[in-house]
Amino acid sequence: MSLSNRSTLTQYLIEQRRRFPSASGDLNALLLEVALACKSIARSVAFGELGGVMGDASVDAAQGGAVNVQGEVQKKLDVLSNDVFVRMNEWAGHLAGMASEEMEQPSQIPAQYPRGKYLLVFDPLDGSSNIDVNVSVGSIFSILRAPDDVIASGRDVVEADFLQPGATQVAAGYALYGPTTMLVLSVGNGVAGFTLHPNLGEFVLTHPDIQVPPDTREFAINASNSRFWEPPVKRYVDECLAGATGPRGKDFNMRWIASMVAEAHRILMRGGVFMYPRDTKDPSKPGRLRLLYEANPIGFIMEQAGGRASTGRQPMLGVVPSSLHQRIGLVFGSRNEVERIERYHHEPVKNDFNTPLFAERSLFRN
């Protein structure tokens, strides 16, 4: 493949930096370190069983053992991927600290390394429950600016330093480990997709200026939870399932991969709406997905691509986090569909009695 008319990730980041002549270049360098971590993880994923990294982590594994802070069983690749992200990003002097789905507390920069002005939060291997069946998985990351006092003093980071709304993200992206390895990235100026060239080992720009179509005929939701859905979600799904003869006047297809990176990528490529809404399955949890390192970075990418991300009730990027591992409901994708779901949440709930007793009737027949 000729690269004469394609940019590498490094070239793309240089072009983006030129918009800010006074920029130090630290953000570019950090993003290249993140990309390198993703390349390393992609290689481990590609080897699969041959690499001896499949299956559950042992109780003696690093970073918390067989069960992470979320109460989820860790896979060997979860532990490996988390370690890769930490080790490849702690040394260069760009970060003040890191936080991850796999670590209960923030990760401090070791004393022998310089500290920088950014915070990195990440899900090192999203969708890892599907890794044993060879379904596409990925890594999700978000970059925030550290608070001024952290930058000035160089002190250790604490949980509160990371509790910033999604709108303050400096950059966000994900890597998709599928038939090809891709890096999808936004630095606040649209969304670009890069494909890992297998011969060069470089991410090459293949999808400039990704845009999410405003309308769609596809939705993604875990239908096994339907008995726990709130009325606005049930109403929306029922209308989609009613198809061309229903109130929407068109047929919809339902998709569900159970790997959010793969779901997000499909929507970026061809439109759609993804729903993992708040429900009544576990009243102690206001949602399933993590705000800081899943919902916010994916929401940032969707909004930068012309889509929309929401809790169902309010814009996702406006939510002020209350804890490092906060969970939240998430709806994202084609703008018009997400706005419809939001509207349903704000409309009064209608009584829907599907019995003859409560059906509309009249003494007169036409």
Q: Of 166, 161, 199, 164, which is closest to residue 180 (Cα–Cα)?
A: 199
Q: Say yes or no: 224 and 173 in one domain.
A: no
CATH number at residue 231: 3.40.190.80
HSE-up (13 A, CA, CB side) for residue 168 = 16
pLDDT-based confidence at residue 70 (cuts at 50, 70, 90): low
| Total domain count, the chain | 2
Q: Say yes or no: 71 and 156 in one domain.
A: yes
Q: Say yes or no: 169 and 140 in one domain.
A: yes
| Final residue before a domain boundary, out of 164, 188, 207 | 207
Q: Of 9, 74, 1, 62, which is closest to residue 39 (Cα–Cα)?
A: 9
Q: Say yes or no: 168 and 143 in one domain.
A: yes
Residue written as tokens 């209608």?
350
Structural domain of 102: 9-207
Residues in CB range of 58: below 8 A, 6 or more apart: 65, 66
Q: H helices within 51-182, ranges in order?
A: 76-89, 148-153
| Residue 353 placed within a domain | no
| Residue 356 placed within a domain | no
Residue 185 labeled ligand binder: no
Residue 129 labeled ligand binder: yes
pLDDT in tens, 269-296: 999 999 999 999 888 888 999 999 999 9
State what percent of residues in the chain have pLDDT above 90. Answer: 78
Q: H helices within the chain, ranges in order?
A: 9-17, 26-47, 76-89, 148-153, 231-242, 260-270, 296-304, 335-346
User: What global pTM score does this model have?
Assistant: 0.90
Residue 101 labeled ligand binder: yes
At residue 61, the pLDDT reads: 43
Q: Say yes or no: 65 and 134 in one domain.
A: yes
Q: Of 182, 120, 126, 118, which is closest to residue 150 (Cα–Cα)?
A: 118
CATH number at residue 184: 3.30.540.10
Whether residue 336 has pLDDT greater than 50 = yes
Q: Say yes or no: 73 and 199 in one domain.
A: yes
Residue 362 labeled ligand binder: no
Query: Which pair of tokens denotes residue 282?
Result: 């576990």
Residues in CB range of 297: below 8 A, 6 or more apart: 121, 140, 141, 142, 166, 169, 172, 173, 174
Q: Say yes or no: 118 and 248 in one domain.
A: no
| Residue 362 placed within a domain | no
| Residue 358 placed within a domain | no
Residue 128 labeled ligand binder: yes
Rounded Cα gap, residues 142 and 31, in angstroms: 10
Angle between helices 26-47 and 76-89 (to 10 degrees): 150
pLDDT in tens, 342-357: 999 999 876 554 444 4
| Residue 75 placed within a domain | yes
pLDDT-based confidence at residue 88 (cuts at 50, 70, 90): very high
Residues in CB range of 48: below 8 A, 6 or more apart: 54, 134
Query: Can you say whether residue 63 is alpha, beta or left, with left for phi > 0 and alpha for psi between -120 and 50 degrees?
Result: left
pLDDT-based confidence at residue 303 (cuts at 50, 70, 90): very high
Q: Say yes or no: 259 and 203 in one domain.
A: no
pLDDT in tens, 129-138: 888 888 899 9
Secondary structure letter of residue 178 according to DSSP: S
When mean pLDDT is compared across 73-77, 136-140, 295-299, the lowest value belongs to 73-77
Residue 222 labeled ligand binder: yes
Q: How far is CA 90 from CA 34, 83, 163, in A?
A: 11, 11, 20
Q: Say yes or no: 144 and 198 in one domain.
A: yes
| Final residue before a domain boundary, out of 185, 207, 229 | 207
When mean pLDDT is compared across 311-315, 329-333, 359-363, the lowest value belongs to 359-363
| Residue 352 placed within a domain | no
Q: Say yes or no: 230 and 201 in one domain.
A: no
Q: Say yes or no: 53 and 79 in one domain.
A: yes
Residues in CB range of 61: below 8 A, 6 or more apart: 74, 76, 79
| Residue 360 placed within a domain | no
Rounded Cα gap, residues 157 and 143, in angstroms: 15
Q: By the 8 A CB rule, do 173 and 183 touch?
A: yes
Residues in CB range of 320: below 8 A, 6 or more apart: 163, 165
Residue 294 labeled ligand binder: yes
At residue 3, the pLDDT reads: 63
| Residue 351 placed within a domain | no
At residue 22, the pLDDT reads: 79
β-sheet with 218-220: strand ranges across: 253-255, 218-220, 273-276, 330-333, 308-310
At residue 19, the pLDDT reads: 86
